[in-house]
Structure 1
Amino acid sequence: MSDGKKTPVAIFVFKRPQHTARMLEALARNPELAELPLFIFCDGARREDEKAAVEATRSIVRDFAHPAKTVVERETNSGLAASIIEAVSNLCSNHGRVIVLEDDLVVSNGFLGFMLKALDRYENDPQVMQVSGHAFPVESFGDTDPVLFLPFISSWGWATWDRAWSAFDTKAEGWQALLLDRALARSFDIGGVYPYSAMLAAQMEGRIDSWAIRWNWSVFRSQGCVVYPPVSLVTNVGFDGSGTHRSANAKFEAQSVADAATITFLDPPSAPDREDERFRLVQASVKAMQGNPLKQFAKRLLWLYVRRRILKSPVRGN
């Protein structure tokens, strides 16, 4: 078993000083933080008009008191995807595992305790590829309920091990199968409730730049799962239009944070049970968070259009 005190915490910030301050203030309320190495990655400005906000964010990071803090200030802009892939790869290689946060996340004071317990508990279980601090809201779930094992990842406060991250495929090999196999695409889309297939196609066409959708595909292809708390230990406060992939959306801000001390840990099943009642409740929650059914239908039509166009392309799958 690894020593939880050596697990690095990696934080990615850019040009949102207020978000960064709020995130660090919440993280500091976790008593475990003082014993963990802290790495903060500050991306560079893309344009002249971003430099003031970038510098204000870095000032907050520099002033944050921590006994084992490493701050990386990039002169140029790498983008979130490249920054996370590089840093997580290096930290996993050097430390065996890592806990990851972005600047728009506010965590509970039980967040690190839960992450460290889960990292230790499932360290040698090849099926479990990620630990999530975020959970989708299900009214009947409480903080004395057991953890869940779900076949998709979360990017809102997470952790992984080197043995799992080594399966991360930046090229998303085999993604074209989603265009040809509708049952496979539906499975990847959590039973058709979230447009992961369309997102991966957009990634591979160069229309978005997402590490998370490629990581999700890597976990899916490996038939892995992610361990989730029954209640969320993370709130995303970035839906104010200030982030790279964010838009104003109050639905996600309604997420509550909780103390993790009473959460029950279980051994993972041989495979995530998609017929399990708890899975179905999460599935319904994800679907409800998509908003207007007409918009969901429009997204589905767009995916079908993209699928047809790619299939007709003479250079499919590049």
Structure 2
Amino acid sequence: METAPVLIHIFNRPSLVPNLIEVVRMAKPKKLFISADGAREDKLGEKELCDESRKRILELVDWPCDVQTLFQESNLGTRYALIAGITWFFDQVEEGIILEEDCLPNESFFKFCTTLLEYHRHDPRIMHITGTNQQFGKKVGDASYYYSCFPSIWGWASWRRVWKLYDPKMSLFPELDKENMLLNVFSDPVIVEDLQIALRMTYDDQNMTWDHQLGFAIAINNGLCIVPNVNLVSNVGVKKIGPQQLDSVVSNIPTVELDVNNIVHPDFYIANRAADLNQITWSYEDTTTTNKTKFKYEQYNKKSSFLNKLKSKFLEA
């Protein structure tokens, strides 16, 4: 089976490139796309790191393949650089695999994605395939993978048909927020409240991420995300946080090879809410990564509540 086209997005960490390319080399995709953000002008030495990353990745690609590049001359920032890279990718291919420089997959990841991209190619219910499993050894069902409501972007694959639904501005969010429609997707009001705050921050450009918009697009289209029953991708770039410089629980999760020659498909096209809840639960317990974010969300929520009260009083007057 020919490996699906692969997009690799790099920035300023040339030391991560060799290990990533070593694994990609095993899959030998015939179409390889490389996107890169430009250096920030105020970061001393960053241009040299960006240049080294670009030079190194091009030198290491030594198998027969069509290599295309999108190297930004100036810094767009994570949100806009990745949106530009992924849009450029799906403008040229119908389906493919996306990896960032700090996402280190194992060999079975590529065949897993390629097989399921083909298997679900014409099924609009399926919108996302991830290689990341954050159940920490807990198996979900008897199949090779399960369905989730949440798209993980640490090594993933999708189709052009899905990316066409992506709206970086989340134009429909105010209507969804007003009608509290997320309760139709997630039944737990606590989860819904936290997701609404996160999406509201992204909508208001208080959080400059790009993946919340992908999750939003999938949610409002009632889409399903595929999650392997073992972890196929390790994020080796999660920064240590806090005065004790602790590792996050999501950092360097070991990968396990999956029997991709005998993939067993789930019997039902239903998101496993218990698995989703389990993932959310540990994410809130992971204080090394979430305390700062939760504080940010809490402050934003307080500010929003205060402004809403002022608005109500103004309207009443």
TM-score normalized with structure 2 length = 0.82
Q: CA offset at residue 99 of structure 1?
A: 0.8
Whole-angstrom CA distance in 2 between matches of 1:22 and 1:209 = 28
CA distance 1:230–1:61, shift in 2 (3 Å): same
- Contact 1:115/1:159 (8 A) holds in 2: yes
Q: CA offset at residue 45 of structure 1?
A: 0.6
Q: CA offset at residue 213 of structure 1?
A: 0.4
- Contact 2:2/2:29 (8 A) holds in 1: yes
Amino acid at match of 1:192: V
- Contact 2:248/2:286 (8 A) holds in 1: no
Whole-angstrom CA distance in 2 between matches of 1:181 and 1:172 = 15
User: Please, which moves more after superposition, 98-107 or 64-73?
Assistant: 64-73
- Equivalent of residue 55 in structure 1, options 27, 51, 57: 51
User: How far does the alpha carbon of each residue in 1:33-65 deviate from its partner, in whole angstroms, 9 at most, with x for none?
Assistant: x24301111221112511121122122112112
- Equivalent of residue 125 in structure 2, options 114, 124, 127: 127
Partner of residue 214, structure 2: 215
Whole-angstrom CA distance in 2 between matches of 1:303 and 1:268 = 39
CA distance 1:189–1:173, shift in 2 (3 Å): farther
Partner of residue 10, structure 1: 7
Q: CA offset at residue 313 of structure 1?
A: 7.7
- Contact 2:3/2:114 (8 A) holds in 1: no
Amino acid at match of 1:199: A
- Equivalent of residue 287 in structure 1, options 272, 281, 284: 281
Gaps of 5+ in 1: none
- Count of residue correspondences: 298
Q: CA offset at residue 303 of structure 1?
A: 5.5
- Aligned pairs for 1:34-113 (under 5 A) are 34-47=28-41, 49=44, 50-64=46-60, 65-68=62-65, 69-113=67-111
Whole-angstrom CA distance in 1 between matches of 2:2 and 2:123 = 20
TM-score normalized with structure 1 length = 0.81
Whole-angstrom CA distance in 2 between matches of 1:42 and 1:189 = 39
Amino acid at match of 1:200: L
CA distance 1:299–1:209, shift in 2 (3 Å): closer
Amino acid at match of 2:10: V
- Equivalent of residue 153 in structure 1, options 151, 154, 161: 151
- Contact 1:107/1:235 (8 A) holds in 2: yes
Whole-angstrom CA distance in 1 between matches of 2:179 and 2:146 = 28
Amino acid at match of 2:225: V
- Contact 2:9/2:85 (8 A) holds in 1: no
Whole-angstrom CA distance in 2 between matches of 1:304 and 1:258 = 39
- Contact 1:186/1:192 (8 A) holds in 2: no
Whole-angstrom CA distance in 1 between matches of 2:55 and 2:4 = 25
Partner of residue 225, structure 1: 224
User: Please, which moves more after superposition, 140-149 or 56-65?
Assistant: 140-149
Percent identical across equivalent pairs?
20
- Equivalent of residue 18 in structure 2, options 10, 13, 21: 21
Gaps of 5+ in 2: 312-317
CA distance 1:142–1:168, shift in 2 (3 Å): closer
- Contact 1:129/1:226 (8 A) holds in 2: yes
Partner of residue 253, structure 1: 251
